[in-house]
Structure 1
């Protein structure tokens, strides 16, 4: 049940390339976070050039308008799972989409079970439905 917000620069990718990007991210969520089939929640937002500012934090990265920022909202994953996801995302997105690993920023946000409602105004995790 990770919720993944994918931020990209507008008009840098075709619809097919955006689909490949999202599909690759989902593959990693399934493998590293054990997201079950049918558990896909993704939002793709395209920002106008210059509206995403992604400096290098003094690490020496050279970023371009191809930068992709992923915000992953999830609960209950271990440090090892998160680190495996970072590595798999960088490797797979490079291999599947040509994204340079230096153009990938990932932020994983920890949430609690009561922070989710999947519809009908019900906290399904809290009520034991999930």
Structure 2
């Protein structure tokens, strides 16, 4: 059960934004085993002057960062997470996002931290 927040430059068009969202979801399905129908994503665009990032941090030459924040239930191995990062970068390249511009952060939590409707903690019942 992930929720994904994608922040991208406002210069990207609707088709590119949809391609980014689709690519992130495919990576989650492939790399960490998220069910195909488990898709919850928020997409935000930002003007260049409202989207600040270091262009050289840790030796990566960034130009137009796409920030992908994924919150999901804990339990994936480091290898699965690394595969997820690679799949995301691979999937975003065809829609015009440079690998160097793909910035991903994972935040993990517990099943009791989720309610997906009706005021219930559905993940506790699994």
Judge same fold: TM > 0.5, yes or no: yes
> What corresponds to 2:83 in structure 1?
84
**Any residues of structure 2 matched to 1:26-45 within 5 Å, and which?**
26-45=25-44
Residues 94-128 of structure 1 show CA distances to partners (whole Å, capped at 9, x for unaligned) of 1x2121111111001011111110001111112x1
Shift of 1:62: 2.4
The answer for unaligned runs of 5 or more in structure 1 is none
Tell me the secondary structure at the aligned position of residue 122 of structure 1.
coil
- Aligned residue-pair number: 125
1:124 equivalent among 108, 111, 122: 122
Shift of 1:57: 6.2
Q: Distance in 1 between matches of 2:82 and 2:17?
A: 24
Q: Distance in 1 between matches of 2:51 and 2:97?
A: 16
Tell me the secondary structure at the aligned position of residue 50 of structure 2.
coil
> What corresponds to 1:7 in structure 2?
7
Task: Say whether 1:53 aligns with 2:22.
Answer: no
The answer for unaligned runs of 5 or more in structure 2 is none
Runs of 4+ aligned residues of structure 1 deviating over 3 Å after TM superposition are none
TM-score by length of 2: 0.91
Of 107-116 and 49-58, more deviation after overlay is shown by 49-58
Q: Residue 6 of structure 2 contacts residue 43 of structure 2 at CA under 8 Å; is this kept in 1?
A: yes
What's the Cα RMSD here? 1.4
Q: Distance in 2 between matches of 1:69 and 1:89?
A: 11
TM-score by length of 1: 0.89
